[in-house]
Amino acid sequence: MASVRNVRHRGQPETAMTSSLLHATKSNQVSYIDVEVDSNDSLSVREGWKEGGDSKPEGDGRCKHCGRTLLKMAGVALSGVVFGIAMEKSRVFEPKSIRDQMVFNNFIMLKMFLSAVAIGQVCMAILSLLPATKDRFQSASQEFVSCFDDRGIFSSALGAFLLGVGMSLSGACPGMVLPQVGAWVPNSLFTLLGALIGALTYGLLGSHLSSLTKPKICFQHKQVHEKLDVQYAVIAVPMAAVVGVAVFCLEWFWPNNKDLESLGRLPELESNIITTIAWPPYVGGALIGLLQVPIILLVNDTIGGSSSYVTVVAQMFFTKNLQQKFRYLADKRSGISNWWQVVYVVCAIVGGALSAASSTSFGVAKGVPVYMGLLGGIVMLWGARFAAGCTSGHGLSGMGLLTWLSFIAVPAMFAGGIVTAFSMQATGALDTYVTAMGDVS
């Protein structure tokens, strides 16, 4: 049997190849079918139904398909909960932790980020070598880099710089704002609202912006190991070792207790792993890095978060005319390849809430003023979508997969955050925090 895999990539229009997999419904509408091959060479089908479609799989085939999809989403949901717990327990979700990182007064964020990259690379290197999973890893890797088909250095650098600006303003990032909501950080709901507004406004212009900024000459090889013509693990494992040494050195010269003390979050001596208010950041980072495994195996993708906002706002564009006019949003409306991120980030809210409740730290962290949260949310989502990735997408997955554009985007993101944070520090705005939802100053 011929092997077919991922014939319809995320965010891509339907091609001649995928058109052969379209079928008409009774109302003359169509639905697309994503076909992939399991390790036993049996086809598994993922269907995304267009508006007006009413023809559906029947009988045992439909039940089997629905059961498989529910199991996948359950695994994604559990991964989201773990993500939220790791973010909250590591204290990286606190706005002060993020802002202080940008002025080099707190290194929780960097330790956690680097730990997640290193462990993620080790996990993906193993997946790339095991006969049972190497095809799945390769397919997930190609799915990820397909997001950059219309992106170049300019859009990756500028978008990531804007993402960093928004992070310093809001004290959050697209993936981190959800655990903030779960832990009831003051005004995190306004940051979430800003992110949704940013996703909507960018989505209205997404196709036009892509056509304007699409590079004339694209990367022939989008990943480092492809350029060097070696296996992924040959580059990933040594890089993970170097990054791991960097985390060790950071912790040696700048202990985590120093960071926790600046936040006022030193763990109580009688607490345990569940009730403690803080874990070492490299523990939380390792947990998040491990999440690459279930995401790759379950949904044939890698960790990300900012696309979920676009999928949510795209539900407003349900008529055929609107979908034809706003193709960027229409392509994000349906299918497991889009909705798994929504499940993931929503369950991160649950994880953040559970973690905060277990350590009686619910609502303890300080938030940013309403206007900073709202503006920062808009700017960071614009930046993340313009760059085709956020801290999770470009940082954890992009760098982890040795993607060229991610090695440009991540430094640009930190540059945007650092410039903004030092500017805010000079005006006294950096240390402006609130203690109640709705506070403006």
Please state the pTM of the whole predicted model: 0.84
Interior/surface letters 193-220, b for 16+ CB within 10 angstroms, e for the rest: bbbbbbbbebbbebbebbeebeeeeebe
Residues 65 and 199: their CA atoms lie apart, in Å, by 31
Amino acid at 354: L
pLDDT in tens, 166-205: 999 999 999 999 999 999 999 999 999 999 999 999 999 8
Q: Facing residues of 45 across strands?
A: 35
| Percent with pLDDT over 90 in the chain | 67
What residue spans of 90-187 are helical by DSSP H?
95-102, 108-129, 134-145, 153-170, 177-182
pLDDT tens, position by position, 415-425: 999 999 999 99
Residues 6+ apart with CB under 8 A from 321: none
Residues 6+ apart with CB under 8 A from 147: 10, 11, 388, 389, 393
pLDDT of 38 higher than 80: no
Q: Are 125 and 322 in contact (CB under 8 A)?
A: no
Across-strand partners of 48? 32
* 297 phi, psi to nearest 5 deg: -75, -30
Q: Are 376 and 194 in contact (CB under 8 A)?
A: yes
pLDDT at 15 over 80: no
